[in-house]
Structure 1
Amino acid sequence: MSGMPISPYLHSLREVVGHRLLLLPGVTAVVLDDAGRLLLGQRSDNGTWALIAGSMDPGEQPAETVVREVYEETAVHVVPERITSVLTQPPNTYPNGDRTEFVDITFRCRAVGGEARVNDDESLAVGWFAPDDLPPLNELNTRRIAWALAPDADAWFSGTAPRRP
């Protein structure tokens, strides 16, 4: 998975399965601060701005993963508040030929400490953005933000009519 670090667990799987498609559990964080701003990272692999996300490690609960990933990438401490979506992302092929398909759980999270900064090699930049002044984001990230900002919305999952805020 060129451009992004690979966990020891995933590395051990790749030694066995090579580049074949792996279905992987992952999480995404829609992080809000007290001013209602969103935390985003500029990805080092493709330069685009995105929500903070990552893969689960064996033995980890999804909420633990989201807390760990946000801190590892941005140095911000968060508390997960609710699940906003559960979905399978489209398959992705990395430059080295590795193929993945993530089953993603997105959490709305509240920032409770830390100062946003680049905290690992997965981001070129991190920052807080007002919801009406976001950098360009892909459609899935835009939908995740809308679902997270909708007051008292149920979590979206396939098979239901998405509740559009």
Structure 2
Amino acid sequence: MGTPDFILDIRATAGNQLLLLPGVTAVVFDDKGRVLLGKRADNGRWSTVAGIPEPGEEPADTAVREVYEETAVHCVPESVVLIQAAAEPVVYPNGDRCQYLDITFRCRATGGVARVNDDESLEVGWFAADELPELDEWSRFRVERAMAGGPLWFQPPGAMTLPAH
């Protein structure tokens, strides 16, 4: 789907200046314990499924929507595993700068067949924990937290955060 219309509207007056935006990441597991990943069209790297909530949209609904839009997989969010701000802004090729405050959900696949379902991904696939492709630190940390299944993780006050994704 690309950049949501409401962000394009903001950019029309804000230009490339830094925007603090909400983000939602979905780490989806199938019944074999494999993780759903997509190879991003913008940078060619494997990544977790993520996106920006629409105005008024609940974060769990964003996770479900983004997973389906990008991969054609239906899922159910089971728990929030991580809340984290990116330490550094993302700078896009057009010069737009964004810094994301991300909520990561552990999700369970409930149907559909994984496939590229929009123009944001080059490939989509399921990966066993011991066969994950190379992931950036942002995505790898989210997968690790979802696999751990432990309590909600957040950055303690004053601690360093992970780099942007």
Residue 63, structure 1, aligned to residue 60, structure 2: yes
Rounded Cα–Cα distance in structure 2 between residues aligned with 1:54 and 1:6: 9
How many pairs does the alignment contain? 157
**Equivalent in the alignment of 2:8:** 11
Q: CA deviation at 1:140?
A: 1.8
Q: CA deviation at 1:19?
A: 0.4
Give the CA RMSD over aligned residues: 1.2
**Equivalent in the alignment of 2:127:** 129
**Equivalent in the alignment of 1:24:** 21
Moved over 6 A (4+): none
Aligned to 1:132, what secondary structure does the other structure show? helix
Please, which runs of 5 or more residues in structure 2 have no aligned partner?
160-165
**Equivalent in the alignment of 2:74:** 77
**Equivalent in the alignment of 2:48:** 51
Aligned to 1:79, what secondary structure does the other structure show? strand
Q: CA deviation at 1:158?
A: 1.1
Residues 17-40 of structure 1: CA distance to partner in whole angstroms, max 9, x if unpaired? 010000000100110000000000
Q: For residue 85 of structure 2, what is the amino acid of its counterpart? A: T
Rounded Cα–Cα distance in structure 2 between residues aligned with 1:104 and 1:80: 15
* TM-score, normalisation: structure 2: 0.92
Instruction: Give me the identity figure in percent.
Output: 57
**Equivalent in the alignment of 2:162:** none
Q: CA deviation at 1:95?
A: 0.9
Rounded Cα–Cα distance in structure 1 between residues aligned with 2:72 and 2:107: 14
Please, which runs of 5 or more residues in structure 1 have no aligned partner?
none
